[in-house]
Amino acid sequence: MSATSYIERYQSIANELPGYNLPWLNAVRQLASGSFEATGFPSPREEEWKYTNVTALEKKLFAPSSISTPSTIDKEWLETHVLADTWTLVMVDGYFDSKLSDLVGLTDKVIATGIAEALQSHPDRVKALLGTTLEKESHGFLAFNTAYFSDGAFIEIPANVKLQKPLQILHISTRNEALANTRSLVGLGRNAEAKLIETFIGLPNISYLTAAVTEIHLAENAVLDHYKLQVETDKAYHFGGVYVKQDKTSHFYQHNLSFGGLLARNEIHAELATAAECEMNGLFLAKNRQHVDNHTLIHHVEPHGISRETYRGVLADRARGVFQGRIVVHPQAQKTSAEMNNRNLLLSEDAEIDAKPQLEILADDVKCSHGVAVGQLAAESIFYLVSRGVDRETAKNMLTFAFANEMVEKIGLDSLRNKVQDHLLNIFPQTGIRRDWL
Amino acid sequence: MLKIENLHVRVEDKPILKGISLHIKPGEVHAIMGPNGSGKSTLSHVLAGRDGYEVTAGTVIYKGKNLLDMPPEERAREGVFLAFQYPVEIPGVSNVYLLKAALNAVRKHRGLPELDAFDFLQMIKAKTKLVEMDEKFLYRAVNEGFSGGEKKRNEILQMAVLEPSLCILDETDSGLDIDALKIVSDGVNSLRSADRSFILVTHYQRLLDYIKPDQVHVLAQGRIVKTGDASLALELEERGYGWIDQTMGEAA
Ligand SMILES: Nc1ncnc2c1ncn2[C@@H]1O[C@H](COP(=O)(O)OP(=O)(O)OP(=O)(O)O)[C@@H](O)[C@H]1O
Ligand SMILES: [Mg+2]
């Protein structure tokens, strides 16, 4: 088994890939393709992929969709996933769909479009951003993505612009056995401010592969709230990476909500310059045979950076979870403050979690802490609820819901928080919790 | 209401209750006093149905039914309520949500329909007034970050909402300031009725100034060693438990 079948598929549509006429991009793609050919998808032999085996992908062969045969999307279904009062960029099977997108009223100072289109209209801007956050990264999925991305979002918010409404990138998969491979680029100029939501969904019951890479560059003092809501189908494979380069005093607030997918790998990596601030919040839920892997990495490369990371996981049935959180404080990064906390709830004896915090501290004047906990619901809490007349099952569900909901409550965006709570209620239908009681 | 006969209970192979008998009629208030570690909370927990206690002998009949056969949620629905000595903090579950879930479970058991949102809110607001609690507490997570006294008041709020038949208050008066003690006692007194009984576990005669008990029992080393009327509490306050040890010694 190897990656060659994927490579062959893509070679046959090479001249459909965006920017195929741009020599610099072709060179980048060729390098990446060569690297992917050599390594294939990541293997569990690699330290960073120890707990997640994606070799199944090489046996399955998900096929890239062609832009020439677009799917029709049921509008009503789509509406249920669009957040109210946002500008939206819709990606269907890996291609930007301008008709489904809504950017009405967005100031023309901002570029927000598909990357294929941006390569036509602003090739230099794309060139300036593409790959800049991936210098410290390398694995088969990234090479694969660079070599073959079919489209993605391109968002550039110039200096001093503060977006009035959030932007939502809605990634939709519509075809069974298909593959959506997108690269999105997000750049915020000095003092710019924005909120960005990336939502991943698929039509009910289909099996597919999402490979989505988002590169984010935050210039000095820029502020970005980034939310990732991964609610792929329970037969989907999801690889989603978010890579952030933070210039000095910039702020990056991230919420990683991972509920769907048969196998999901979320990578959130950030590199912080002087006095930059980074917050990473994560909630992952898995049941049945779902496998969810969260891989976070924070590089403090300059002094006075602040990072706070809080992840919670809930695993039921035979689900498997991974939290690999790494913080590297480089020698120059004095006065860094870094906190990491990960708590996991195992709801069944067959559920498993690998929780691996890693702190590499190479500076001496820093404040760093980390804590990891794995446990079951507290018996005394269950008894307290039961002693009030609530049945055991409901009591457990209430406590589980509460454990997860505490992370959801941190979401500052009302419309998204409500949507996420809806998802939670669906995942724990037995709670009997109703919206109006929350 | 409640008939405990010769109850023996072990915890992790250690005998804690060694033959308790106690009869409580509807409308009665029984106080249980006794030294630390004598088994008062153990008795309360066994009545509420907490895991980890092994009943090795004896029976508990509540309203004619075998209480020990019922799972704890059923006891609660049948009207047994325990105000915990150490109320548990439940982060993420709001007070109002727990009250609603509990009340509906109890009402369902009694064949009553769910209260609609309006009636529920009216009722809850009235009850928070009764225990002089700020309504803000309703929307906070259950007991999370509550002061000791606030937690105790919250227990009484839950009791007032659920309207149980048998109320067991395990040291609800401990840690209350003088005003709060009065408020909690007033709350309890307002709930007193001909078909509702109370077990008050307490270390202090002070509480019994506010809530007058029909009987006072002294629990020591897992046994009820003395039973009397309200004046027994006064005597204990004056003379301590040593005096009882003596009388026990004489009896033996
Ligand atoms: N889980 C347990 N394991 C071992 N011993 C226990 C356990 N629970 C209770 N005990 C013991 O049982 C005895 C009675 O405890 P209990 O809490 O009932 O006392 P109490 O009368 O309520 O005391 P206090 O006045 O301090 O509240 C104590 O000696 C206690 O240490
Ligand atoms: Mg006690």
- Judging by beta carbons within 10 Å of its beta carbon (0-12, 13-18, 19+), is residue A436 exposed, middle or buried? exposed
Which one, of A22, A182, A211, lies nearest residue A115 by Cα? A182
Residue B249's pLDDT is 46
Q: Tell me how far the alpha carbon of residue A279 lies from the centroid of ligand 1, in angstroms.
A: 44
CA gap A337, B48 in Å, rounded = 47
Per-residue model confidence (pLDDT) at position B252: 37
Domain spans in chain A, listed from the N-terminal domain onward: 4-273, 379-438
Query: Can you give the pLDDT at residue A254?
Result: 98
Measured between alpha carbons, how far is residue A349 from residues A288, A290, A310, A374 in Å? 12, 15, 24, 12
**Residue B248: per-residue pLDDT:** 57
Quote the mean pLDDT of chain B.
Answer: 92
> Is residue B51 lining ligand 1, measured as CB closer than 6 Å?
no
Q: Are B16 and B219 in contact (CB under 8 A)?
A: no
Residue recorded with tokens 């393709």: A33
Write the CA distances from B62 to A223, A363, B24, B26, B194, integer angstroms: 63, 67, 10, 11, 16
pTM to 2 decimal places: 0.90
Closest CA to A201 of A169, A234, A165, A232: A232
- Chain B nearest C-alpha distance from A383 (Å): 7
Q: What one-character-per-residue DSSP string does A199-253 give?
A: EEEE-TT--EEEEEEEEEEE-TT-EEEEEEEE---TT-EEEEEEEEEE-TT-EEE
CA angle B177, B183, B187 (to 5 degrees): 140
**pLDDT per residue over B17-36, tens digit each?**
999 999 999 999 999 999 99
Distance in Å, CA B81 to ligand 1 centroid: 20
Residue B120, domain CATH: 3.40.50.300
Give A401-433 pLDDT, tens digit per residue. Answer: 999 999 999 999 999 999 999 898 888 766 555
Q: Which residue of A has its CA nearest to B73?
A: A389
pLDDT exceeds cutoff 60 at B250: no
From the CA of B74, how many Å to the nearest CA of chain A?
A: 7
pLDDT tens digits, one per residue of B170-227: 999 998 999 889 988 998 999 999 999 999 999 988 899 999 999 999 999 999 999 9
Strands A95-102 and A87-92: antiparallel
What is the rounded (10 degree) CA torsion for B79, B82, B88, B93?
20
What is the mean pLDDT of the segment spanning A117-141?
95
C-alpha to C-alpha distance for A143 and A139, rounded to whole angstroms = 6
- Number of domains into which chain B is organized: 1
Q: Touching check for B116 and chain A: CB below 8 Å?
A: no
Residue A347, SS3 per DSSP: coil
The pLDDT of residue A297 is above 90? yes
Q: Is A177 within 8 Å of A208 (Cβ atoms)?
A: yes
Quote the CA–CA distance of A64 and A70 in Å, as a whole number: 12
Residue whose entry in the numeric block shows the structure tokens 């056969």: B69
* Cα-to-centroid distance, B48 and ligand 2 (Å): 14
Ligand index nearest the alpha carbon of residue B37: 1
User: According to the model, what pLDDT value does residue A264 have?
Assistant: 98
B44 close to ligand 1 (CB < 6 Angstrom): no
Q: With contact defined as beta carbons under 8 Å apart, do A210 and A93 qualify? A: no
Round to the nearest angstrom and report the end-to-end CA distance of chain A.
Answer: 50
- Cα dihedral A311→A314→A318→A321 (10° resolution): 0
Q: Is the pLDDT of residue A436 over 80?
A: no
Angle separating helix axes B148-162 and B117-130, nearest 10 degrees: 130
CA neighbor of A198 nearest in space, from A188, A176, A213, A179: A213
CA A112 to chain centre: 19
Model pLDDT, residue B251 = 41
Domain region containing B191: 2-251
Contacts of B93 in chain A (CB under 8 A): 385, 398-399, 402
Tens-digit pLDDT profile for residues B30-80: 999 999 999 999 999 999 999 999 999 999 999 999 999 999 999 999 999
For the Cβ of B41 lying below 6 angstroms from any atom of ligand 1, the answer is yes
Q: Report chain A's mean pLDDT, rounded to a whole number.
A: 94
CA B43 to chain centre: 10
Q: What is the per-residue pLDDT across A221-273, written as a single tens digit (0 to 9) for each?
A: 999 999 999 999 999 999 999 999 999 999 999 999 999 999 999 999 999 99
Cα-based angle A217, A213, A198 (whole degrees, multiple of 5): 80
User: How far lies A86's CA from each of A197, A218, A252, A413, in Å?
Assistant: 9, 21, 19, 11
Tell me what pLDDT residue A207 has. Answer: 96
Percent of chain B with pLDDT over 90: 81
Angle (nearest 5°) at CA B156 between B153 and B157: 90
CB of B93 within 6 A of ligand 1: the answer is no
